[in-house]
Chains A and B, each alone.
Chain A
């Protein structure tokens, strides 16, 4: 049984530095919610605050009806009363204890009878495929195995909420990918709420049901991965998500011959944009067009809606080809199929499909919707 986790108006200051700035977020029970952002955005701090290892300067945290922390009411539950488990980035396994002792530690404290502890530990280790390693010491395990023991140790406590602090960042690339699949499977099997911290946006996209994008202690966007990718709430999110990064081109709103609004880019080309979006904007308004590389169409055929450009470089990448275009000083990257026949210095035409364009107010950096 999981309840909604609500963090309300969390403020965390370290001296003069505000790490978390009036943050409010509601996490759905049973979801896999990732706190995503660059270093220093406050994601790990928020995780530790939820765990009870650090106290916010102000705010409130509740799980359903149960209040974990409230600065107003002077409530501050100890970690052991919060029903959370925390998997550390460094795994934090106790080096002088065997795998069994590590996993059994919390159960011993709960004064569970020995045979039950035995059963539970084996069961949990089996679920992470490590039951053969019960008597080993952490120093005798590989990174991936240590990571799984760290998870097993917390899962044995059967927490309502599992917190994970960049658990995969110490693993090599290949192992990271395999572990992603494992994590998704575990989440599906157990049905608990997972709050996950990472700076890797592709990892966040792959694993999460919801993503909270953070920057300087403030929520930039809270939505499903798909929406965050497709309809980024502001330029920061748009730029942070995706690899290679999205293309951002500045322009102004103009009125064309037929009276409809368009966006003039490069000072000369009037791009057609979604009507409902641009309707709210006045003429002359400075905007930024955002379009993902995979949506751009590069072709040799001239069309009215395509602007001319020259290929700066064409970079092969197996199934894809990255076409690097330069127009004036602006850098545009398009991702095309690997078989396409385009070479350096070719003159081509570039088309932005209307439905793929997102418009952003240049001053406020927000999405125009």
Chain B
């Protein structure tokens, strides 16, 4: 047995080290996934943890405004003042909380009812026209969540609530009661319509996965159709329905747009609106306390969702590929039911948009006749008598500027976010199974727990001051992009992880053996294979942000106006026709963006030689 002689050719110039943890650690760092992972930790701490921490800390800190109100207090020192104030005036806080819960429950149930029924009709019966029903069922979700608030007002407002006549009053003379125009009822309806596609997709998905043989077994054993639905079908879909309920509940509790427009005039305030009010009154700390409340509720809901659904995850009997779901025949009522569905969808989805467009051509509110037709709000030059002196939508420099801002923020945010998601995906997949990977993944999912408006508040609190070498970012473009990156991180991480899963580790190892450096491996092996994942991640963020309001409402400033906030502000000050025109314009832009991205994605995936 020959012994190894003195090492004459140690080809690597590493200083001799004693074998042990130190050199082991050094070798670990040399692995790209480890050093990248550490950088990511720092980035995520900055994007996720630090803002949260600052939010909480600010509620315990004396701000500049407070120093006037609290005798003898110095700016920056810790105090329980804000918390005590909230607890002394619980009404400020319990009222909005109660209202938020009311509308969330109402919305969730409306969405559940409509969404589930549609899902069952489309997936489990032989109703005709499934294609068009499917499209109509998904459309409301594509629009901004408060898009239908405007046509609702346009339709129902009337002189009995001190508003110019709406469509209903104009054509029929009927004056809708106040509770139908403003307050919880309209809010629940409008949001219910926005969120039912969400429920529809989830329940439809679950229904598709049910092997109809379990229903057939039930009927063979003598159960009636109704009994089968109640005892077999419904329980199988329960988990999905429950999940949809919980998720829409947690989304609506933090929504801003609709409750702001439809609740304000009736003094119906929800948490999100109250948060903004406090911000506008310079009561930042109070606003942040409410934000913490909102976040806590959201976390509880999502935790509940996980617990309840997690246990019952095995309920859905996933049928094998190729089994046919048996359709329940609707008999002679087929076409009637179809007609009813189309009519309802047309009334609640299509008609509002048409009304929106129509009213944007009306020169003054209260009249909808042809005689009132004008193109002013679209193409007109500024006229002090109309629309508070603003130029028409297509001629308005502010509109163009904010469109540009929206596009830039959405695209840049999406780009950086998708890139970050890829890197996180790489690290998580290459260190799969380790605690390192699961901590990183969990960190990147935290923004999901935080409602958009709360997220905006968090970033405001952190970045409105100097942070070490970084200047205050309040009112800057950079802040808008940052908040997009932070909030959309969970989605791009998911896309990144699944894209990286496709690239087997061995493909990298083979390149390593052939002598490639990490950078050239990334450029020549990893990137070409994950390119489509990256692009779809980018597109998702882009499309979502183009219609996002709650995220930006607290952060916006004249310089960083985006299309959604601009539209909202005009609606807020009752510049009706202009806001209607703007909303129509916004909807058009969103549809255009979606269509183009879909086209682009198709093009990308068809040109790969895989």
B225: chain A residues at CB < 8 Å are none
Known: A76-B14, A157-B514. Is A67-B19 also a contact (CB below 8 A)?
no
B133 at the interface (CB under 8 A from A): no
Q: How far is the CB of A16 from chain B (nearest CB, A)?
A: 15
B528-566 interface code vs A (CB 8 A; 1 in, 0 out): 110000000000000000000000000000000000000
Residue of B nearest to A89 (CB): B506
In the docked arrangement, what's the CA distance between A62 and B2, Å?
A: 12
Q: How far is the CB of A193 from chain B (nearest CB, A)?
A: 16
A92 close to B23 (CB less than 8 A):
no
- Interface pick from B5-13, B144-152, B421-429: B5-13
B506 close to A72 (CB less than 8 A):
no
Q: How far is the CB of A60 from chain B (nearest CB, A)?
A: 6
B4 at the interface (CB under 8 A from A): yes
Residue of A nearest to B527 (CB): A96
A106-124 interface code vs B (CB 8 A; 1 in, 0 out): 1001100000000000000
Known: A76-B27, A137-B609. Is A66-B11 also a contact (CB below 8 A)?
yes
Q: How far is the CB of A363 from chain B (nearest CB, A)?
A: 28
A62 close to B4 (CB less than 8 A):
yes
B279 at the interface (CB under 8 A from A): no
B515 at the interface (CB under 8 A from A): yes
A109 close to B515 (CB less than 8 A):
yes
In the docked arrangement, what's the CA distance between A109 and B519, Å?
A: 12
B27 close to A73 (CB less than 8 A):
no
In the docked arrangement, what's the CA distance between A51 and B510, Å?
A: 11
A289-306 interface code vs B (CB 8 A; 1 in, 0 out): 000000000000000000
Give the contacts of A40-57 with B (CB-CB under 8 A): 51-53, 55
Residue of A nearest to B17 (CB): A74
A81 close to B510 (CB less than 8 A):
no
A85 at the interface (CB under 8 A from B): yes
A205 at the interface (CB under 8 A from B): no
A77 close to B513 (CB less than 8 A):
no
Give the contacts of A108-161 with B (CB-CB under 8 A): 109-110, 137, 139, 153-154, 157
Q: Is the interface of B mostly helix, strand, loop or mixed?
A: loop
**Most central of A60, A70, A72, A74 by chain B CB within 10 Å:** A74
Give the contacts of A74-97 with B (CB-CB under 8 A): 74-81, 84-86, 88, 90, 92-96
A109 close to B516 (CB less than 8 A):
yes
B78 at the interface (CB under 8 A from A): no
B1: chain A residues at CB < 8 Å are 26
Residue of A nearest to B516 (CB): A109
B514 close to A105 (CB less than 8 A):
yes
Residue of A nearest to B608 (CB): A96
A221 at the interface (CB under 8 A from B): no
In the docked arrangement, what's the CA distance between A60 and B12, Å?
A: 15
A188 at the interface (CB under 8 A from B): no
Q: Which of A62, A80, A81, A96 contacts B528 (CB 8 A)?
A: A96
A96 close to B529 (CB less than 8 A):
yes
In the docked arrangement, what's the CA distance between A26 and B1, Å?
A: 8
A351 at the interface (CB under 8 A from B): no
B11: chain A residues at CB < 8 Å are 66, 77, 81
A6 at the interface (CB under 8 A from B): yes
Q: Which of B7, B515, B524, B528 contacts A75 (CB 8 A)?
A: B7
Known: A74-B16, A109-B520. Is A6-B2 also a contact (CB below 8 A)?
yes
A75 close to B10 (CB less than 8 A):
yes
B23: chain A residues at CB < 8 Å are 74
B529 close to A153 (CB less than 8 A):
no
Number of interface residues of A (CB under 8 A): 45
Residue of B nearest to A102 (CB): B510
B515 close to A110 (CB less than 8 A):
yes
Known: A90-B504, A96-B529. Is A74-B514 also a contact (CB below 8 A)?
no
A90 close to B506 (CB less than 8 A):
yes
A110: chain B residues at CB < 8 Å are 515
B610 at the interface (CB under 8 A from A): yes
In the docked arrangement, what's the CA distance between A51 and B506, Å?
A: 13
B136 at the interface (CB under 8 A from A): no
In the docked arrangement, what's the CA distance between A85 and B511, Å?
A: 11
A58 at the interface (CB under 8 A from B): yes
In the docked arrangement, what's the CA distance between A345 and B596, Å?
A: 81
Q: How far is the CB of A17 from chain B (nearest CB, A)?
A: 14
B304: chain A residues at CB < 8 Å are none
In the docked arrangement, what's the CA distance between A157 and B516, Å?
A: 13
B9-32 interface code vs A (CB 8 A; 1 in, 0 out): 111101111110001000100000
A94: chain B residues at CB < 8 Å are 507, 510-511, 525
A80 close to B512 (CB less than 8 A):
yes
In the docked arrangement, what's the CA distance between A157 and B509, Å?
A: 15
B513 close to A154 (CB less than 8 A):
yes
Q: How far is the CB of B39 from chain A (nearest CB, A)?
A: 22
A321 at the interface (CB under 8 A from B): no
B12 close to A75 (CB less than 8 A):
yes
Residue of A nearest to B520 (CB): A109
In the docked arrangement, what's the CA distance between A285 and B520, Å?
A: 65
Q: How far is the CB of A108 from chain B (nearest CB, A)?
A: 9
Give the contacts of A192-219 with B (CB-CB under 8 A): none
A4 at the interface (CB under 8 A from B): yes
A153 close to B512 (CB less than 8 A):
no
A139: chain B residues at CB < 8 Å are 610
B10 close to A86 (CB less than 8 A):
no
B5: chain A residues at CB < 8 Å are 65
B514 close to A109 (CB less than 8 A):
yes
A6 close to B4 (CB less than 8 A):
yes
B4: chain A residues at CB < 8 Å are 6, 8, 60, 62, 67
A153: chain B residues at CB < 8 Å are 510, 514
Report 12 cross-chain contacts, Cβ distance below 8 Å, ordered by A residue. Answer: A51-B513, A58-B19, A60-B4, A62-B4, A66-B9, A74-B14, A74-B18, A78-B512, A79-B512, A90-B504, A105-B511, A157-B515
For the complex with contacts A65-B7, A67-B7, A74-B18, 6 further pairs of A-B residues with Cβ separation under 8 Å are A62-B4, A66-B11, A67-B10, A73-B7, A80-B512, A94-B511
Interface positions of A (Cβ within 8 A of B): 4, 6, 8, 26, 51-53, 55, 58, 60, 62, 65-67, 70-81, 84-86, 88, 90, 92-96, 105-106, 109-110, 137, 139, 153-154, 157
Complex A-B, nearest 5 residue pairs according to Cβ-Cβ distance, in ascending order: A106-B514, A80-B515, A74-B17, A71-B19, A92-B506
